Structure 1
C-alpha cells in the first residue's frame, strides 16, 4: 500500500512539473514579446531610426535643423496617439535594420519596403505608403535607357542594401554606393555623367528631381515597375508594439490624418495604392 501511495505522489508531482514547465514557457514567450514595449513605456519614448536625407520622407527644413517629412511626422503622430515622445536617431539606411537587431533603436521609418525576406527577420506595421519604382535619368537621352534590360552595363547610384540596388544589379548595372549622402550627391552624379541612373521610389525621385532644376535630369517618362508598400520596421518579437502602432495607423487612416500627411509632403495621396499598370519583375529574391 505504501508503494501505491508513493507511486501516486510521484505521478502527481510529474503532472504538476509538466504544467509548470508549460506555464513557464508561455510566460517566457510573453515576456520576450512584451520586453520592447515595456522598455518603451518605462522610458516614455520611442527611439526611431531615420536618415534625414530623403526629400519628402525624412529631411531637414531648408536652413534649419528641424527634421520633418512624411515618415517623420507620421511617426510623431503615432507617438502622440500612444502617449509617447519620439526620439530620432540619424543613420544611413544600411545601418537601420542592424540597429533594430542590436536594440539601439525600437523602429525604423525611412521609406522601407516590406519584402518576404525582411519579414523573416523583422516585424512590419501595416503599410502607410504605396508606391512603385522608377528611374532618374539624364534629360537629353534618358541615359540611353528605354527598358529595364538597358540597365546592363550602366552605373546606378544607390545604397548598398536597398531593394532598388538589387533591381539595378538584377538587370546588370554596376551599383555605386554613397553611404548616408544627401539626395544632391546622387542626382548631381547622374547630371555630370559620373553615374547613369538612380533606380528609386517614384515619390522620392519626383521630389529629388524637382529640388534641383539646374540639373539635366528627369524621371523616366515610360518606365513604371515593381509596386511597393512601405511600413514601420521593428524587432520580430515586438508584437505588442506592432499591434499598438497598427491601431494608431488605422485611426489615422480612418480620420484622414494619413491622407493629409501624404498630400502635404508628396502632393499626392501616397497612403493609397497608385492607379495604372505597373510592371512586376520576375526572379527577384526579395
Structure 2
C-alpha cells in the first residue's frame, strides 16, 4: 500500500496520470463475487469474472490510469479482504450501508434497489411485504444486510452461500421464500434454471439502498473512481452498460 500511494503521488506530481502518459500504470486488485449475476459472476466459458460491476470498474480504470486485476472473493469476505489489503477495491453488488461505511469508504452511488422475494409459483398467499410473512421459512445469502430485518420481522431465516442455492431450495420446497438483491433474484429467475419459481407480485421492499465501489479508508484512488464514474454518466457510457446487462430502472 505504501508503494502504491507513492506511485500515485509521484505520477500526479509529474503529470503522468493523464491519458497514455504514465510509464508504469499501476494494477489494482479488485474483489468481486462469482455468484452475483448480473452484477458479478464467473463466466464458465472463459473462466473469468464478468458482469455489470466488473465492466464498470474496468472502464473506470481505463479512464483514470490504472489497470484492474479482478479476483473472485466470497461476498462475506469482501470487507475483510479490503481492510487487510488482500484487495484494493470492492466492485460488487454491495450496498453502502452506515455499518459498512464505518469500516471502508464508498464511491458516489452507482445503482439503487431493495430486496426481492422469490416463492414457488404454486404459492398463493397474499404476501406483499415482510410484515405479512411472519413465521415463513426464508433463505438469504450470508453476509448480506437482509438477515437481521428478516429476523426482526419474525421470519425463520436460513443462510446460504449464493442466490442460486436459495433459488434451488425455493424450487424444491425446502424453504417458503428466498430473499436477495432484487435485480439478482430477478435475473436468476429469468434464466429459467430453477423451474416453478417466481417473484412475489407487487412486493414492497423494506431495505432500500445503493451499491457503490469500496476502497480502504483514506485511499486517494477513491477520487479517481468518482471522477471516472462521473465521466461515464456524463457521456452515457454508464446508461449503455445498464442497458447491456438488462438492469431495471435504479431506485434512487
Q: Same fold (TM over 0.5)?
A: yes
- The offset of 1:201, in angstroms, is 1.9
Match of 1:71 in 2: 53
Kept in 2, the 8 Å contact 1:143–1:196? The answer is no
Aligned residue pairs total 237
Match of 2:195 in 1: 215
Q: Please state which structure has a larger fraction of its residues in helix.
A: 1
Instruction: Select 1:59's aligned residue among 41, 57, 60.
Output: 41
Match of 1:126 in 2: 108
Instruction: Select 2:209's aligned residue among 221, 228, 233.
Output: 228
Match of 2:21 in 1: none
Question: Is there any run of 5+ residues in structure 1 with no aligned partner, and where?
Answer: 1-31, 275-286
TM-score in terms of structure 1 length: 0.75
Q: Please state which structure has a larger fraction of its residues in strand.
A: 2
- The offset of 1:94, in angstroms, is 0.5
Match of 2:18 in 1: none
Alpha-carbon separation, structure 1, partners of 2:237 and 2:131: 40
- 1:79-135 deviations in whole A, cap 9, x for unaligned? 111222111121211100011111111111111101112112210000111222221
Question: 41-50 or 106-115, which moves further after superposition?
Answer: 41-50
Kept in 1, the 8 Å contact 2:113–2:181? The answer is yes
TM-score in terms of structure 2 length: 0.85
User: What does 1:176-255 correspond to in 2, within 5 Å?
Assistant: 176-179=158-161, 181=162, 183-212=163-192, 214-225=194-205, 226-238=207-219, 240-255=220-235
- 1:144-196 deviations in whole A, cap 9, x for unaligned? 734312332222222232112222122122322223x4x43221100111122
Larger Rg, first or second structure (1 or 2): 1
Match of 1:100 in 2: 82
Question: Is there any run of 5+ residues in structure 2 with no aligned partner, and where?
Answer: 12-23
Matched, 1:137 2:133: no
